[in-house]
Amino acid sequence: MTITTAKENITAARDALQKAYGATRPNSAALYERALAVLPGGNSRTQLYFPPFPFYVSSAVGCRITDVDGHTYLDLVSNYTSLVHGHPTPDLLATISAQAAAGTAYGAPAPVEVELAEELSRRMPSLERVRFANSGTEAVIYACRAARLFTGRTDLIRAEGGYDGGHDGMQVGLKTFSDDVASLPEAGVPDWVAEHTHLMPFNDIEASVAVIERVGPRSAAVVIEPVQGYAGHLPAAPGYLDAVREAATGAGCLLIFDEVLTFRLHVGGAQAIYGVTPDLTALGKLIGGGFPVGAFGGRADVMAAFDPRHPAVPFHGGTFNANPMSLAAGLEYMRQLTPEAVTRINAFGDELRDHINAQAVQLGVAVVASGIGSLLRLHGGSTVPDSARDALTRDQSLPELLYYLLLEEGVFMGTKRGVMCMSTAMGEADVAEIRSAFTKSLTRLATVLEGDS
């Protein structure tokens, strides 16, 4: 059936759901009021806010989290994909405890730095040399710096709508678009940064190659996610990354893959799935086992710029770079992330995505799930977006309503963006519970859209 999405019905339903949510979480409401007195907007991660206030977590085990008001949810957020194994397993807890007992930070190298670097290089052969940082944002910053040092060039090329960290160069063309694909900076980013940052449209081979051919000779690198996370976990189309790789080589600039999100899709990352080898790769999230971490690496000749045995080496410091707590937890995470585990959670994700889309069609609700493997995201509309512009300019009113409906069913997904991911902590029964919650929530949403209460 076809349902007319009456704006007034959506607004009334949203107001009612938010009121019911707030009324049943007094402890979170009180914490939020305290937070507003000391934190701008009440928190330190913009995406975690949703009205009337976010719930506060008191504990987490496996694939479930419990808030300070006693509500427990199946966790489809997993700290925005970083907790690929869910909340700490007994083996991870033992690892963390042992490392804490041995020391949390040294100001000197520890064996685990070598061990995790070796493991990452084994899984991802393009990482001939690796260095650690404190976040995915830092990893991209230093990968770009390595490219500039190696090429002697200043400019960067990036895929429009991709999130490659919070630093200035990667905050150009993130969600502010123009008709001519100009480099538009986000608020607080200087115009001069945009003048040296060039955008190419993700998945448009002809246009992307043209951009690289035009500005590549003055650019140090092309920075791209093989699967665009912020835009909705949109996978690269067949042949797209190959074309970008060839064009970058032809222009004499390096290719940087941002695999902060996509490393969970294959034991060798998305570059193994697509069969395309970048010059440099940025990593983060899951390689820290639930602790802050970043890593960048790639060709030995490019990474040689950071060799401290050379007198002209640029400074790459950081009090918590290669922090042993993060690396010990990350190494245990890698041990648990077997090919079989990756295959299982990818299958869970494919199954859930198919279920959501089939239910939405059956009920006539204009919501669609995109993604690949264990990564999913909800969009307004009936077709999967074909570009970042398409994804980021859609009306997200219905996914926003689903957020509150799913909370009532005991399932937690990413707020307005509808971000979801599967974890190895989930079993068949958990996935069945999630599917059931979506069926109930989509059915209730269909009723809302028809104007019935």
Superfamily (CATH H level) for 7-84+339-450: Aspartate Aminotransferase, domain 1 (3.90.1150.10)
Q: What is the pLDDT of residue 205?
A: 97
With CA atoms as reference, report the closest residue to 338 among 116, 88, 123, 136.
123
Q: What is the pLDDT of residue 4?
A: 47
Structure-token pair, residue 327: 């690396």
Residue 371's φ and ψ, nearest 5 degrees, are: 130, -170
Kindly give the confidence (pLDDT) of every residue in the chain, 453 residues in length, as a single tens digit, with 9 standing for 90 and above: 344 457 888 999 999 999 999 999 999 999 999 999 999 999 998 888 999 999 999 999 999 999 999 999 999 999 999 999 999 989 999 999 999 999 999 999 999 999 999 999 999 999 999 999 999 999 999 999 999 999 999 999 999 888 888 888 888 877 666 555 455 777 788 888 888 899 999 999 999 999 999 999 999 999 999 999 988 899 999 999 999 999 999 999 999 999 999 999 999 999 999 999 999 999 999 999 999 999 999 999 999 999 998 878 788 889 999 999 999 999 999 999 999 999 999 999 999 999 999 999 999 999 999 999 999 999 999 999 988 888 888 999 999 999 999 999 999 999 877 899 999 999 999 999 999 999 999 999 999 888 765
Q: Can you give the pTM of this predicted structure? A: 0.94
CA separation, residue 24 to residues 71, 331, 394, 398, 410 (Å): 9, 40, 31, 22, 13
Structure-token pair, residue 284: 């983060």
Percentages helix, strand, coil for the chain, rounded to the nearest 5?
A: 45, 15, 40
Which residues on adjacent β-strands are paired with residue 379?
368
Q: Return the C-alpha torsion angle 51, 52, 58, 60, nearest 10.
A: -30
Q: What is the CATH number of domain 90-336?
A: 3.40.640.10
Coil, strand, or helix at residue 156?
A: strand
Boundaries of CATH 3.90.1150.10 in the chain?
7-84+339-450
Q: How far apart are CA 143 and CA 283, in angstroms?
A: 10
Q: How far apart are CA 296 and CA 280, in angstroms?
A: 7
Boundaries of CATH 3.40.640.10 in the chain?
90-336
Instruction: Quote the crossing angle between the two packed helices 111-123 and 324-336, to the nearest 10°.
Output: 40
Query: H or E element: which one contains 112?
Result: helix 111-123
Q: What is the pLDDT of residue 1?
A: 37
| HSE-up (13 A, CA, CB side) for residue 275 | 5
CA separation, residue 353 to residues 82, 243, 245, 385 (Å): 20, 29, 30, 14
Q: What is the pLDDT of residue 2?
A: 42
Query: Quick one: 127 exposed, middle or buried, by C-beta within 10 A (0-12, 13-18, 19+)?
Result: buried
